[in-house]
């Protein structure tokens, strides 16, 4: 059964400007160390950062306004094959247990100007 669905789109230029303006302070508030390292290994880190930010926003939409979420408690990771997935910690783990959410499905896409993400939360 589906608990929630969320989708978000981020303009890459907006992410680039936020990082240029706020720098490390912004990055550390929004992304985990691994997300930052992964993104900056890319030729265009803004694409990777944008799509990860979109994933976090889509996730928040999927859970609704039931709990407060720190963006760094949501981490976009990649399997060995490159498939993206979400890892959660903090209060989100307890929320998942309470609501019997067993899986957070994630789909990401980006092109030159935009990053988009869709999250589907599945219950037992």
pLDDT score at 66: 80
Nearest to 73 by CA among 31, 119, 115: 31
Q: Where are the domains of the chain?
A: 2-123
Assess whether 61 carries a catalytic annotation.
yes
Q: Which of 3, 42, 89, 110 is catalytic?
A: 110
CATH number of the domain located at residue range(s) 2-123 in this protein: 3.90.470.20
pLDDT score at 65: 78
pLDDT score at 124: 81
pLDDT score at 39: 96
**What does the H/E/C string look like for 63-83?**
HCCCCCCCHHHEEEEECCCCC
Q: Are 2 and 43 in contact (CB under 8 A)?
A: no
Mean pLDDT by 10 residues, the chain (124 residues): 97 96 96 97 95 98 89 96 95 93 95 96 92
pLDDT score at 27: 97
Q: Which of 3, 17, 41, 61 is catalytic?
A: 61
Q: What is the pTM of this model?
A: 0.94
């Amino acid at each position: 059964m589906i608990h929630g669905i969320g989708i978000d789109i981020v303009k890459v230029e907006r992410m680039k400007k936020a990082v240029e303006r706020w720098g490390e302070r912004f990055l550390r508030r929004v992304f985990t160390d691994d997300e930052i390292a992964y993104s900056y290994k890319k030729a265009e880190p803004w694409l990777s950062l944008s799509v990860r930010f979109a994933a976090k926003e889509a996730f928040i939409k999927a859970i609704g306004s039931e709990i407060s979420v720190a963006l760094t408690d949501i981490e976009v990771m990649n399997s060995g094959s490159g498939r993206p997935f979400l890892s959660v910690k903090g209060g989100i783990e307890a929320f998942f247990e309470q609501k019997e959410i067993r899986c957070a499905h994630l789909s990401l896409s980006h092109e030159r100007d935009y990053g988009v993400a869709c999250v589907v939360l599945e219950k037992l």
